């Protein structure tokens, strides 16, 4: 085979016996064929790859595979590129054509030829004919070595076991992040791992997590504050007018507008009766001023009884009936209890935002027990309070907050009907970083997220995605240089991920660390073959379940 001038360099010796030290240097495996900006093409010799397959260094042994890296010497620097795709050379079956994306460059140590001082970006491109070399474990450690910025270690760089993968916390949180992955890939445990590492790094931090399934309470019992319907005590008067409408209005179209006008007028009157409301010169219907639900219903009755009112009494009766129904329903007691009329806003914000944190920097807001018809409104209030607090505290010492939203596609859906939660989360995604609010989105269906929300996330942690639509959606949101990594998303094992964006120096494939049993979320899959063998006590199970069911968890 005529490879090219200097092809002897591609001939590789047999792997060294186990009792001999592995060779320090490995010869080239190919050469650069074409250069085109960030993406280029190389020709790789199949025989050279086969000779490396038994190399003692696992990184060298996987040279040439999709998602691995190669390097090229340009002057006194090593240029590092990622292999995006492979195809057989149509003119020579002994060679492979590889599409490559440049990741960055590092300096070359003169005596040993080792790579060091790696940085993202390319200042000088190679020319066609430049030799292509394998990457070693030592090179990977230099490429992925964390610099002196604040970072957390979350696992090992594939295919090594000891090269640590780091996430830069400030860069990741400053521009939001998303964790995506199909059900059963270890998404919840991986989310818990990342949040635990952040809590360990910043024990006086401020993290709010919306937990729709009650999974994370078990994971953060020792280092977090756990809130559910039994102790959340979120006052109803914290809602703004839009959120009041979602809870109290039951009509659509023109009727809804009539009901909303009545509610706005009566709500403003009810807020104005409070001492705090009387002290505000220009009180608005959105101001978080305490009011009595009885004042609101009395105001509706008074408006209904006026001789000069327009229309019939139906809108007034609808409103009054709905408010009294919610007030009497014990399921809504965590929010609409008569005990929540006092001005507890300061205490509520201090508890939820961990101000101060007392060594428990994360609030787990378990909304699994919240009635389904107002779950979105509760999440909207919590999200908006986070954003509004950041806006109105701009002239105060900064206290940035991380808002993590599990099952994000439920709250920021692609085909949103104009819900308040979708609007506020989309706004946080676009504007939150200006005010010190970071957004963490966790979802199994990224394609169901609203347009633009995923692209606002500066760091994307992608676990295995089985759905082709989801894969395409994530691929479109990721930077061009990560495309080679993305092709391996369907083939990732459980608890493996591809990370790219602001939080990492270069795109990276990671095998997550294990998490201690007491720090894992309660999200493990049932083992049917074992549990179906466990019999006895069914009568007690049904009896206790019915009691909880009827009492709605109380």
What is the rounded distance in angstroms from the CA atom of residue 319 to the CA atom of residue 293?
12
CA dihedral 70, 73, 74, 78 (to 10 degrees): 60
Q: What is the pLDDT of residues 209-220, one digit of tens each?
A: 999 998 899 899
Q: Among residues of the chain, what percentage have pLDDT more than 70?
A: 92
Q: What is the mean pLDDT of residues 361-370?
A: 92
Q: What is the mean pLDDT of residues 395-419?
A: 87
Q: What is the pLDDT of residue 552?
A: 61
Q: What is the pLDDT of residues 102-142, one digit of tens each?
A: 888 888 887 777 888 888 778 888 889 999 999 888 888 88
Per-residue pLDDT for 9 more than 60? no
pTM of model > 0.85:
no
Under the banding of pLDDT at 50, 70 and 90, the label for residue 503 is confident
Sort 379 into a burial class: Cβ within 10 Å, 0-12 / 13-18 / 19+: buried
Under the banding of pLDDT at 50, 70 and 90, the label for residue 176 is very high
Under the banding of pLDDT at 50, 70 and 90, the label for residue 244 is very high
CATH code that applies to domain 166-235+343-523 = 3.40.50.300
Q: What is the pLDDT of residue 15?
A: 44
- Vertex 218 angle, CA 212 and 221, to 5°: 110
Task: Give the closest residue to 375 by CA, choosing from 228, 267, 241, 252.
Answer: 228
Q: What is the pLDDT of residue 11?
A: 42
pLDDT: which is higher, 533 or 218: 218
Do 4 and 129 touch, CB atoms closer than 8 A? Answer: yes
Q: What is the pLDDT of residue 440?
A: 94
Q: What is the mean pLDDT of residues 169-179?
A: 91
Per-residue pLDDT for 6 more than 70? no
- Strands of the 496-501 sheet, one edge to the other: 164-168, 151-157, 508-512, 496-501, 459-462, 177-180, 437-443, 401-406, 207-211, 362-366, 224-227
Do 58 and 160 touch, CB atoms closer than 8 A? Answer: yes
Q: What is the pLDDT of residues 146-161, one digit of tens each?
A: 777 888 999 988 878 8
Task: Give the closest residue to 156 by CA, choosing from 529, 407, 527, 495.
Answer: 495
**Chain center to CA of 490:** 19
Strand 508-512 relative to strand 151-157, pairing: antiparallel
- Vertex 385 angle, CA 384 and 386, to 5°: 90
Q: What is the mean pLDDT of residues 243-251?
A: 90
What is the rounded distance in angstroms from the CA atom of residue 46 to the CA atom of residue 235?
68
Q: What is the pLDDT of residue 483?
A: 64
Q: What is the pLDDT of residue 507?
A: 83
Q: What is the pLDDT of residue 377?
A: 92
CB atoms within 10 A of CB 330: 11
Q: What is the mean pLDDT of residues 397-418?
A: 87
Per-residue pLDDT for 520 more than 60? yes
Range scoring the smallest mean pLDDT among 11-25, 90-104, 219-233, 387-401: 11-25
Query: Where are the chain's structural domains?
Result: 30-144, 166-235+343-523, 237-332
User: What is residue 225's three-state secondary structure?
Assistant: strand
Q: What is the pLDDT of residue 491?
A: 78
Per-residue pLDDT for 358 more than 90? no
What is the rounded distance in angstroms from the CA atom of residue 273 to the CA atom of residue 170?
45
Task: Give the closest residue to 162 by CA, choosing from 183, 145, 181.
Answer: 145
**Chain center to CA of 507:** 16
Report phi then psi at 310, rounded to 5.
Answer: -90, 145
Q: What is the pLDDT of residue 38?
A: 62
Under the banding of pLDDT at 50, 70 and 90, the label for residue 307 is low
Per-residue pLDDT for 403 more than 90? yes
Q: What is the mean pLDDT of residues 534-545?
A: 85
What is the rounded distance in angstroms from the CA atom of residue 346 to the CA atom of residue 327?
24
Under the banding of pLDDT at 50, 70 and 90, the label for residue 59 is confident
Mean per-residue pLDDT of the chain: 84
Range scoring the smallest mean pLDDT among 82-86, 236-240, 483-487: 483-487
Per-residue pLDDT for 4 more than 60? no
Angle between helices 420-435 and 241-248 (to 10 degrees): 160
Q: What is the pLDDT of residue 135?
A: 87
CB atoms within 10 A of CB 100: 26
Per-residue pLDDT for 357 more than 90? no
Q: What is the mean pLDDT of residues 181-198?
A: 91
Q: What is the pLDDT of residue 209?
A: 94
DSSP of 22-61:
PPS-----EEEEEEETTEEEEEEEHHHHHHHTT-SSHHHH
């Amino acid at each position: 085979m005529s490879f090219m001038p200097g092809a002897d360099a591609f001939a590789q010796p047999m792997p060294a016996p186990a009792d001999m030290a592995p060779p320090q240097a490995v010869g080239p495996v190919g050469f650069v064929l074409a250069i085109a900006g960030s993406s280029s093409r190389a020709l790789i010799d199949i025989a050279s790859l086969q000779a490396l397959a038994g190399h003692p260094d696992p990184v060298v042994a996987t040279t040439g595979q999709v998602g691995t890296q190669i390097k090229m010497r340009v002057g006194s620097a090593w240029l590092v590129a990622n292999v995006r795709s492979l195809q057989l050379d149509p003119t020579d079956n002994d060679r492979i054509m590889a599409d490559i994306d440049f990741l960055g460059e590092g300096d070359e140590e003169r005596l040993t030829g080792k790579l060091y001082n790696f940085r993202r970006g390319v200042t000088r491109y190679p020319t066609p004919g430049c030799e292509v070399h394998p990457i070693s474990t030592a090179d990977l450690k230099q490429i992925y070595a964390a610099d002196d910025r604040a970072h957390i270690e979350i696992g090992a760089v594939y295919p090594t076991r000891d090269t640590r993968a780091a996430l830069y916390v400030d860069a990741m949180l400053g521009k939001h992040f998303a964790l995506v992955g199909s059900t059963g890939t270890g998404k919840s445990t991986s989310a818990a791992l990342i949040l635990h590492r952040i809590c360990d790094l910043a024990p006086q931090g401020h993290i709010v997590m919306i937990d729709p399934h009650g999974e994370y309470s078990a994971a953060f019992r020792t280092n977090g504050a756990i809130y559910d319907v039994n102790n959340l005590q979120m006052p109803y008067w914290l809602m703004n007018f839009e959120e009041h409408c979602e809870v109290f209005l039951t009509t659509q179209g023109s009727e809804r507008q009539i009901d909303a006008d009545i509610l706005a007028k009566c709500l403003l009157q009810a807020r104005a009766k409070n001492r705090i409301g009387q002290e505000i010169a220009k009180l608005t219907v959105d101001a978080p001023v305490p009011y009595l639900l009885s004042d609101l219903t009395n105001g509706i009755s008074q408006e209904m009884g006026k001789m000069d009112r327009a229309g019939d009494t139906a809108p007034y009766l609808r409103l009054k009936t709905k408010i009294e129904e919610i007030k009497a329903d014990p399921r809504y007691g965590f929010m609409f209890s008569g005990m929540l009329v006092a001005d507890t806003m300061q205490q509520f914000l201090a508890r939820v935002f961990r101000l101060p944190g007392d060594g428990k920097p994360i609030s787990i807001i378990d909304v699994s027990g919240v009635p389904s018809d107002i779950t979105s409104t509760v999440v909207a209030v919590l999200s908006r309070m986070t954003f509004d607090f950041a806006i109105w505290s701009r002239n105060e010492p900064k206290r940035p907050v991380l808002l993590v939203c599990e099952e994000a596609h439920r709250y920021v859906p692609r085909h949103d009907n104009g819900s308040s939660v979708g609007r506020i989360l989309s706004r946080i995604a676009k504007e939150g970083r200006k005010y010190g609010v970071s957004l963490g989105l966790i979802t199994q269906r990224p394609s169901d997220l609203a347009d633009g929300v995923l692209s606002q996330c500066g760091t994307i942690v992608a676990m295995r995605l089985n759905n082709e639509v989801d894969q395409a959606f994530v691929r479109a949101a990721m930077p061009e240089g990560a495309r080679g990594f993305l092709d391996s998303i369907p083939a990732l094992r459980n608890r493996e991920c591809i990370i790219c964006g602001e939080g990492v120096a270069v795109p990276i494939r990671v095998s997550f660390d294990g998490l201690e049993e007491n720090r894992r979320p309660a999200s493990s899959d049932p083992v049917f073959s074992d549990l179906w063998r466990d019999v006895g006590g069914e009568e007690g199970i049904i009896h206790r379940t019915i009691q909880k069911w009827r009492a709605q968890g109380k």
